Amino acid sequence: MASKNVIQIIVKSQSQSVWIDVYSENIMDQILHEYAEDLQVDSTDPHILFIHKRANKRTTDRYATVNDLGLQNGDELLILDRGSSPDATIVFHFMVVYNTLRRLKKNAPPRNKRDYHEMNVAVSTGKGHEIKFYLSDSTLRDIVDPFLWMPEGYEITNCLTEGKRPVMIVNERSGKCAMPSEFDMLISDFFEDDKGIGKLYIICEDEQEIPSGLHMDDFSW
């Protein structure tokens, strides 16, 4: 079908891929149901994740359009369900771990569970999540990096800060604050007490967004 509104994209799952023609107004749910069998993806899974790999944009909104995700001719759309990619459902839980490993330029080596520590994080954007981190390696910066690195090597927008500039991190228990110049501090040092790990609160600027593809290491505060 010839139309200036039609583009060709490659849609991938964890194990399959298919080239398809789509309109800019097509929604993710249409693509999912049309090609779920070819991609071996469970279309009934309520936790389906759609990722535009080039733009590092992700959504779980089945009514998001091709245009909403910024997909262009030749782009790659990744569709992950809970069954085909366990990492898709735990990535936010382990996001600090993945960011820490990438910062240390290490592959994800198996570690004993005692290396992991859990912590609750709330953000002024209204988001909140329980995360895991490495007590001896993870920094505050690993929590607020604009993008999260997944084990497969691609990145998605940080679901906590949503691309907003973090201006302060607060230790909810002690009231201690960390400014951006202090974000390289170890999480364990930020708590500096023997009562266990508490909660963090991240304050973000309301308006300014960090440009796509820019990481905290590249950002000038």
Among 68, 85, 102, the domain-final residue is 85
**Number of residues assigned to the chain:** 221
Residue 1 located in a structural domain: no
Q: Give the residue-averaged pLDDT of 59-80.
A: 90
Q: What pLDDT digit, counting tens, does each position of 145-202 carry?
A: 877 766 555 566 677 777 788 899 998 878 889 999 999 999 888 887 645 566 888 9
* Angstrom distances, CA of residue 15 to CA of 11, 85, 165: 11, 9, 35
If one counts the domains in the chain, the total is 2
Q: How many Å is the Cα radius of gyration of the chain?
A: 19
- pLDDT for residue 133 is more than 70: yes
Our CA dihedral for 173, 174, 178, 184, rounded to 10 degrees, sits at -80
Q: Are 187 and 149 members of one domain? A: yes
Distance CA 30, CA 40 (A): 15
Helix ranges restricted to H, the chain: 28-39, 86-90, 95-103, 140-144, 187-191
- Quote the pTM value: 0.56
Q: What residues make up the domain containing 64?
A: 6-85
